[in-house]
Chain A
């Protein structure tokens, strides 16, 4: 059966809750296996946060407002 809710990635907490929710009441071993797997979450978070930090665009250089004014002034004068 296609799980319609699985079409989008979920936040780590939601994913954990959904995965544990899916386990059967009579099969605690499956929920235990998910809990054991969840021990890797701190590493996942650290890696993704580092990735995000690296991918963050560098701060734009400050606008040279004098140059901007001169350029626009030139354009405006040409329009006249």
Chain B
């Protein structure tokens, strides 16, 4: 019998992986909302279009699950600081490897886990950027160019993220293509 970890990691089809998350949220009451979906799409596109040398399936799965113990109350600063570690601990109980859990824990830098995995740098970028471009109850989403400036000169200033420049260029490249909203 396969564990939940094996089940979702063996599912390489993106559509079905999202469906697994949809039902996991209902059954296990984990955190899974539209911001997680946007961040995962950004990670997927970044890896594919920039040919990033990582296991795409693993990063996508980590992106979907790394905030599973987050809650919807951004004012709770203790929770903001602890959810990545709590999520990693929870994921270990679902059968995920130590490395997978470490990647998830390092989506932000609150736990101080070091050295950082390269996959975590991708999670960190999409977490910051995706969070900024979406609306929140207390503010509207930032414009893409504003979010890029904040990402580079505020959020990740002085932090060693190996993909920062490449990610900024990738976003700019996609922003040059104009489409009508649905």
Chain A residues at the B interface, C-beta cutoff of 8 Å: 3, 5-6, 9-21, 23, 25, 28-29, 31-32, 34-36, 38-39, 41-42, 44-45, 48-49
Given known A13-B133, A13-B174, A29-B22, contact A41–B141 (CB-CB < 8 A): no
Of the candidates A9, A17, A20, which one forms a contact with B178 in the assembled complex, judged by CB atoms under 8 Å apart?
Answer: A9
Of the candidates A17, A25, A39, A44, which one forms a contact with B38 in the assembled complex, judged by CB atoms under 8 Å apart?
Answer: A17
Q: Whole-angstrom distance between the alpha carbons of A49 and B178 in the complex?
A: 11
Residue pairs across A and B with Cβ atoms less than 8 A apart, 19 shown, are A11-B178, A12-B179, A13-B171, A15-B179, A16-B38, A17-B141, A20-B37, A21-B141, A25-B33, A28-B34, A31-B38, A35-B14, A35-B18, A38-B45, A39-B14, A39-B44, A42-B45, A42-B48, A49-B177
A20 touches B134 (CB 8 A): yes
Where chain A touches its partner, the secondary structure class is: helix
Q: Whole-angstrom distance between the alpha carbons of A28 and B33 in the complex?
A: 7
- For A3, what are the chain B residues with a Cβ–Cβ distance below 8 Å? 181
Our count of residue pairs bridging A and B at CB distance below 8 angstroms stands at 98
Query: How many B residues face the partner with a CB closer than 8 A?
Result: 35
B80 at the interface (CB under 8 A from A): no
Q: Nearest Cβ in chain A — how far from B129, in angstroms?
A: 9
Chain B residues at the A interface, C-beta cutoff of 8 Å: 14-15, 18-19, 22, 25, 32-34, 37-38, 40-42, 44-45, 48-49, 133-135, 141, 143-144, 171, 173-182
Q: Which of B18, B34, B171 has the most CB of A within 10 A?
A: B34
Of the candidates A19, A32, A36, A48, which one forms a contact with B181 in the assembled complex, judged by CB atoms under 8 Å apart?
Answer: A19
A16 touches B22 (CB 8 A): no
Of the candidates B32, B34, B40, B49, which one forms a contact with A23 in the assembled complex, judged by CB atoms under 8 Å apart?
Answer: B34
Given known A14-B143, A39-B14, contact A45–B177 (CB-CB < 8 A): yes
A17 touches B133 (CB 8 A): yes
B37 touches A14 (CB 8 A): no
Chain B residue at minimum C-beta to C-beta distance from A37: B182
Q: Whole-angstrom distance between the alpha carbons of A20 and B141 in the complex?
A: 11
A6 touches B180 (CB 8 A): yes
Given known A6-B181, A28-B22, contact A12–B41 (CB-CB < 8 A): no
Q: Whole-angstrom distance between the alpha carbons of A1 and B150 in the complex?
A: 33
A25 touches B34 (CB 8 A): yes
- For B49, what are the chain A residues with a Cβ–Cβ distance below 8 Å? 42, 45
Q: Nearest Cβ in chain A — how far from B57, in angstroms?
A: 14
